[in-house]
Chains A and B, each alone.
Chain A
Amino acid sequence: MSNFNLDEIEKNLEKDFNTVDSPETLENLRLRYLGRKGIIAQLTSALPNFSLEERKDLGRRINSLKQRIEEFLKIKEDELKASLKLKEKKFSFDIGLPGITQAVGALHPITGMIDEICDVFVSMGFSVVEGPEIETEYNNFTGLNIPLEHPCRDVFDTFYIKSQTPNSRSQRLLLRSHTSPVQIRVMKSKKPPLAVVVPGKVYRPDAVDASHSFMFHQIEGFLVDKDVKFSDLKGVLYHFAKKVFGEKIKMRFRPHYFPFTEPSAEVDISCIICEGKGCSVCSKKGWLEILGCGMIHPQVLKNVGYSPYQWQGFAFGMGIERIVMLKYGIDDIRLFFENDLRFLEQF
């Protein structure tokens, strides 16, 4: 029986019958399997070449194959009949016409993503808190261990509020340049343990171009408790990444420097376009930077009146525009604020 591969025939059976689209193709299949010189006939005629033991087994298999073929023939025949009947039926309308609905709008992709991300953290037990966009210099910088005049502030160029009355330096008002000042506010007003996420607008005086905007959105998150560890930070962020970017996502923590966390890290995810193989979006690196994080610096804990010997915490922050741009393949940040309906309709 070397010229018949029974396994192969059994495997291809269903595939063969799925190609049936007319009575003619069905009849051809019937002949091919059950015809006088069909596959079953050939298999049966080859049986005597085998030992008694083998014949028993093969015989049983051939029989069950035959039964399956007959079942398939029946099913397909019924299907063909049914479809013929449908063809004869007359319809009063054209299903190609557009369906009638109430026109629906859409959420802005930024706020949609904020909701999605907040929901993930809320499901883990975090609370959502918002803070003011006008902040004090203390909350935005000094309280977060960012010295007022230091090169590490250069990434945080800031809009200041023109004030009528001169304030002391630390009370000078500004538009927050990140969502981290809400850390200071929440920690000063509440006792640990705390698990909070903070979405919101932030402002930096950057000239507008395809990848810069003077206003954008961030989500900040932090957790303070007795024995929060870096390993917890990794676990929480990994859960977040899987929920937002998919189960297959890989994550990597790179050491970095932020004045308000120590140890600090930047977090990359495997490129969601090329899955880490390297493409133009990830500059052939296979990784995309999506957030910054770390263990809250003991100085920051001291600044809000927590004892760093008693409490530990982690914090993280991410830019929403960047995440939305990566997720939907948007290449120009200005699109978010131009609000062209042809753009908004797509989300």
Chain B
Amino acid sequence: MKFTLNWLKDFVEIKLSPQRLAEAFTLAGLEVTSLKKEDNDWVFEIEVTSNRPDLLSVLGIAREVSAITGQKLIGDSVERLAYSKIFVSNKKFKINIESKEDCPLYTAKIIKEVKVAPSPDWLKERLELIGCRTVNNIVDITNYVMFTLGQPLHAFDLNRLEGDLISVRRAKDNESITTIDGRVFVLNKDVLVIADSQRPIAIAGIMGGKDTEVDTHTKDILLESAKFNPLLIRRMRQLLGLVSESQYRFERDVDINNVIFASDYAVNLIEKLAGGKTLLFKKTADIPKKRKIIIFNPDNITNILGVTIQKNKIRKILTGLGFKIKSFNEKLKVEVPSFRKDVKEEIDLIEEIARLWGYDRIPKTLPYIKPLDTDEINRRILSKIKNILVGQGFFEVVNYSLISKTILKNLKMDPEKALPIANPLSNQQEILRPSLLPGLLFCISKNIQHKEGVCIFEIGKVFEGLKETNFLGLALCGKKIFLRDCGKTEDNFTILHLKGVVELILKSIGIKDFDFVLEELAYLEEGFKVMFAGERLGYLGKAEPEVVKRFDINKKDVFVGELNLEAMLKFMDLNKKYKPLAPYPGIRRDISLVLKEDISLKEILKRINNRGFKLLKEIKVIDFYKGSPIPSGFKGVTLSCLYYSDTHTLTDEEADSEHSLLCNSLKEEFSVQFR
């Protein structure tokens, strides 16, 4: 809402400087978004919240100034506006209202023999300062009154109306109208129109028709001032995509008590600036006299705000805002003015008092907080997992949860299974992601163009039908960087780098006996599911080259994995138990062996562990080799075995005897050869 300082001064004396006034507005909840000096005036723009349509008028803002500064409204300036003489003619003129719900009040005045001309300079200046286009004196007056009092008005050229009739009705299907901005609208029964006996002459509350607009040829006018159903105006705005200053006010609702007052003021100005005689005034309803009363206990101010405000201050604030205090005992009986529809109950009055007394004068206190029983474990665990990943060189990414169907098709996933958005902005954000993979591959694609190696993770929801589950996504591509600042690289990432990180994470939360089991997935060339206690925790693998290519990643392997965090947290086991350190030194024996390529080390280690060698306390793979001199179809492996006893220092003989048992069993069961 824009207005000028001089305009405001018509209604209330202002002693503050414009800057101080702006600050006072802001601190009272009328945030000043701009303040500019123009010619001899100052133009304010304030943000009016949707609950305060009364502030969409200079008079409404003047009331706030009055409540802020304690300066009374200039009384006669307001009353003077209302003065108007009505010459009732014999002319038969009818207003038909189809539905009182659509239009609770419609008033019309007929003013004859006006002289349409440019507005006087003062009027033009004020409208131009607040960015309103000036047209001619009649149109400008209707706008001026709207900005002054908040009640939109419309003037029709009376002689272009057909018949002595105005009807406020729903449009018929396929009726059309050209509005004053030159647009043509084909209407239907969802649109309320003002019509003469033949056709719509205005879209009610939003914009008038071009046919009947006031121009330099106009002699007689019909001046409309009315109240329309705000919800209806809102729907019409959405339906037609048509907005206007008038629509904006009707959608936020106008004060029924203001309708005739505004019309009188306009007539007053018209007679003064354009001559003419008012011949007729018609209205379709009487104005309700009843006012809302709120019973208000001032003790509740202290209960809610934490500060005590003196009674006379409360009285001053409320009366300054136009409330009437009917009785002032233990409890207050407060009458709400008709323009403050937003004030419905006690708490609303408390806010009024708080904001004008000053939020900054309310002290700062700290409440007693009783911690909830819910423990913080999941947040701590997630944080731990994230820190491990960061320590391993992974960067966290955050991708959009809304994606395109195309990107899923590129991943060989079925886009029709994903949950669609009813009103997407574009087909780039039409479904909810069923996987973190699209985002991760997109990030790899973007970064691998300027980085030798990329390793990233994301924690976020994935959507399967209406079910949403937190997942951890991992992706690796290119080279592993070990000198961060100079970007020196080691080997290319392999699936083992990914496997290693997955193992590290699972072990960190106490999940130990998990297993990687081969799995066929359309988007993976080689894939494994991660299994624990018969449940699938997720997968990892090497992305399918064709899929990778569709993401513009060229000639590089991408390793990806996703873990279901909720399943992981379900199985996590944070109990730790101390194992005594070995009291006697152990003996280490290494074996280098050659075995068939299709035998997995997983099998060998499992078998050895199951055999239950008593002295064998640890066995690990310390070297792995393929290629010459190992014949093709075979692989070379070095295992390191640690033997020790809990009761004495082991002798070489004891160790050797168990070690040779182990070697024999390897030879027999897997036909390995020793090197």
Question: Do residues B354 and A255 form an inter-chain contact, with CB atoms below 8 A?
Answer: yes
B284 adjacent to chain A (CB < 8 Å): no
Contacts of B372 in A (CB 8 A): 127, 190, 194-196
Q: Which of B371-389 contact A (CB under 8 A)?
A: 371-372, 374, 376, 379, 383, 386, 389
- Shortest distance from the beta carbon of B46 to any chain A beta carbon, whole Å: 12
Question: Do residues B421 and A254 form an inter-chain contact, with CB atoms below 8 A?
Answer: no
Q: A134-B466, A160-B422, A231-B306 are in contact. Are A203 and B402 (CB under 8 A)?
A: yes
Question: Do residues A232 and B367 form an inter-chain contact, with CB atoms below 8 A?
Answer: yes
| Contacts between the two chains (Cβ within 8 Å), count | 247
Question: Do residues A254 and B419 form an inter-chain contact, with CB atoms below 8 A?
Answer: no
Question: Do residues A195 and B251 form an inter-chain contact, with CB atoms below 8 A?
Answer: no
- Interface residue stretch chosen among B47-55, B506-514, B543-551, B604-612: B47-55
- Interface residue stretch chosen among B177-185, B322-330, B344-352: B344-352
- Shortest distance from the beta carbon of B437 to any chain A beta carbon, whole Å: 14
Question: Do residues A297 and B362 form an inter-chain contact, with CB atoms below 8 A?
Answer: no
Question: Do residues B482 and A103 form an inter-chain contact, with CB atoms below 8 A?
Answer: yes
Contacts of A236 in B (CB 8 A): 366-367
Question: Do residues B351 and A255 form an inter-chain contact, with CB atoms below 8 A?
Answer: yes
Contacts of B460 in A (CB 8 A): 201
Contacts of A108 in B (CB 8 A): 395-398
Contacts of B483 in A (CB 8 A): 98, 100-101, 103
Question: Do residues B446 and A229 form an inter-chain contact, with CB atoms below 8 A?
Answer: no
B613 adjacent to chain A (CB < 8 Å): no
Complexed CA–CA distance, A231 and B305 (Å): 6
Contacts of A235 in B (CB 8 A): 364-367
Question: Do residues A126 and B304 form an inter-chain contact, with CB atoms below 8 A?
Answer: no
A59 adjacent to chain B (CB < 8 Å): no
Question: Do residues B303 and A229 form an inter-chain contact, with CB atoms below 8 A?
Answer: yes
Question: Do residues A228 and B50 form an inter-chain contact, with CB atoms below 8 A?
Answer: no
Option from A129, A160, A229, A344 in Cβ contact (under 8 Å) with B396? A344
Interface of A is mostly: mixed
Option from B421, B463, B484 in Cβ contact (under 8 Å) with A162? B421
- Interface residue stretch chosen among B22-30, B95-103, B646-654: B22-30
Question: Do residues B365 and A257 form an inter-chain contact, with CB atoms below 8 A?
Answer: no
- Shortest distance from the beta carbon of A202 to any chain B beta carbon, whole Å: 11
B354, B399, B454 interface centre (most CB from chain A within 10 Å): B354
Contact with A along B251-272 (1 / 0, CB 8 A): 1100000000000000000000
Question: Do residues B394 and A255 form an inter-chain contact, with CB atoms below 8 A?
Answer: no
- Shortest distance from the beta carbon of A93 to any chain B beta carbon, whole Å: 15
Contacts of A255 in B (CB 8 A): 27-29, 351, 354-355, 359
Interface residues on B, range: 35 or more
- Interface residue stretch chosen among A72-80, A117-125, A269-277: A117-125
Option from B31, B307, B450 in Cβ contact (under 8 Å) with A231? B307
Contact with A along B332-350 (1 / 0, CB 8 A): 0000000000000101101
- Interface residue stretch chosen among A24-32, A43-51, A82-90, A144-152: A144-152
B456 adjacent to chain A (CB < 8 Å): yes
Q: Which of A250-304 contact B (CB under 8 A)?
A: 252-257, 259, 262-266, 295, 297-298
Contacts of A232 in B (CB 8 A): 306, 365-367
Contacts of B306 in A (CB 8 A): 229-232
A170 adjacent to chain B (CB < 8 Å): no
A328 adjacent to chain B (CB < 8 Å): no
Complexed CA–CA distance, A55 and B38 (Å): 72
* CB closest chain-B residue, reference A112: B396
- Interface residue stretch chosen among B210-218, B423-431, B584-592, B637-645: B423-431
B392 adjacent to chain A (CB < 8 Å): yes
Q: A255-B354, A339-B398 are in contact. Are A103 and B379 (CB under 8 A)?
A: no
Contacts of A98 in B (CB 8 A): 483, 485-486, 488
- Shortest distance from the beta carbon of A187 to any chain B beta carbon, whole Å: 12
- Shortest distance from the beta carbon of A338 to any chain B beta carbon, whole Å: 7
B350, B369, B399 interface centre (most CB from chain A within 10 Å): B369
Complexed CA–CA distance, A154 and B51 (Å): 12
Contacts of A190 in B (CB 8 A): 372
Complexed CA–CA distance, A118 and B378 (Å): 13
Q: Which of B439-496 contact A (CB under 8 A)?
A: 443, 446-447, 450-451, 454-456, 459-461, 463, 466, 468, 480-486, 488
* CB closest chain-A residue, reference B421: A159
Complexed CA–CA distance, A179 and B362 (Å): 27
- Shortest distance from the beta carbon of A40 to any chain B beta carbon, whole Å: 52
Contacts of B410 in A (CB 8 A): none
A66 adjacent to chain B (CB < 8 Å): no
Q: A254-B26, A263-B351, A341-B447 are in contact. Are A129 and B360 (CB under 8 A)?
A: no
Question: Do residues B371 and A195 form an inter-chain contact, with CB atoms below 8 A?
Answer: yes
Interface residues on A, range: 35 or more
Contacts of B251 in A (CB 8 A): 151
Q: A207-B425, A231-B307, A255-B351 are in contact. Are A133 and B461 (CB under 8 A)?
A: yes
A95 adjacent to chain B (CB < 8 Å): no
Complexed CA–CA distance, A286 and B400 (Å): 33
* CB closest chain-A residue, reference B442: A339
Q: A298-B345, A339-B446 are in contact. Are A127 and B371 (CB under 8 A)?
A: yes
Question: Do residues A104 and B390 form an inter-chain contact, with CB atoms below 8 A?
Answer: yes
Question: Do residues B451 and A341 form an inter-chain contact, with CB atoms below 8 A?
Answer: yes
Contact with B along A175-215 (1 / 0, CB 8 A): 10000000000000010011110000101011100000011
Q: A228-B367, A229-B305, A295-B304 are in contact. Are A110 and B398 (CB under 8 A)?
A: yes
Contacts of B484 in A (CB 8 A): 101, 103-104
Contacts of A127 in B (CB 8 A): 371-372, 374, 376
Question: Do residues B423 and A256 form an inter-chain contact, with CB atoms below 8 A?
Answer: no
- Shortest distance from the beta carbon of B255 to any chain A beta carbon, whole Å: 16
Question: Do residues A238 and B398 form an inter-chain contact, with CB atoms below 8 A?
Answer: no
Question: Do residues A107 and B31 form an inter-chain contact, with CB atoms below 8 A?
Answer: no
* CB closest chain-A residue, reference B302: A229
B370 adjacent to chain A (CB < 8 Å): yes
Contacts of A196 in B (CB 8 A): 372
* CB closest chain-A residue, reference B234: A149
- Shortest distance from the beta carbon of B132 to any chain A beta carbon, whole Å: 21
* CB closest chain-A residue, reference B486: A98
Q: A103-B484, A215-B402 are in contact. Are A230 and B371 (CB under 8 A)?
A: no
Complexed CA–CA distance, A235 and B366 (Å): 5
Option from A115, A124, A203, A231 in Cβ contact (under 8 Å) with B362? A231
Question: Do residues A106 and B396 form an inter-chain contact, with CB atoms below 8 A?
Answer: yes
Option from B234, B402, B468 in Cβ contact (under 8 Å) with A132? B468
* CB closest chain-A residue, reference B379: A128
Question: Do residues A230 and B252 form an inter-chain contact, with CB atoms below 8 A?
Answer: no
B345, B398, B419, B447 interface centre (most CB from chain A within 10 Å): B398
Complexed CA–CA distance, A206 and B360 (Å): 34
Q: A162-B420, A203-B402 are in contact. Are A230 and B451 (CB under 8 A)?
A: no
Complexed CA–CA distance, A25 and B51 (Å): 75
Instruction: Show 7 residue pairs from A and B whose CB-CB distance is below 8 angstroms, ordered by the A residue.
Output: A98-B486, A151-B252, A201-B461, A236-B367, A256-B29, A262-B347, A344-B397
Other A-B pairs beyond A98-B483, A239-B366, A266-B31, 5, CB < 8 Å? A111-B398, A159-B424, A173-B466, A203-B401, A339-B443
Chain A residues near B (Cβ < 8 Å): 98-108, 110-111, 115, 118, 122, 124-129, 132-134, 149-152, 154, 159-163, 173, 175, 190, 193-196, 201, 203, 205-207, 214-215, 223, 225, 227-232, 234-236, 238-239, 252-257, 259, 262-266, 295, 297-298, 312, 336-342, 344-345
Chain B residues near A (Cβ < 8 Å): 26-29, 31, 49-52, 231, 234-235, 251-252, 303-307, 345, 347-348, 350-351, 354-355, 359-360, 362-372, 374, 376, 379, 383, 386, 389-402, 419-425, 429, 432, 443, 446-447, 450-451, 454-456, 459-461, 463, 466, 468, 480-486, 488
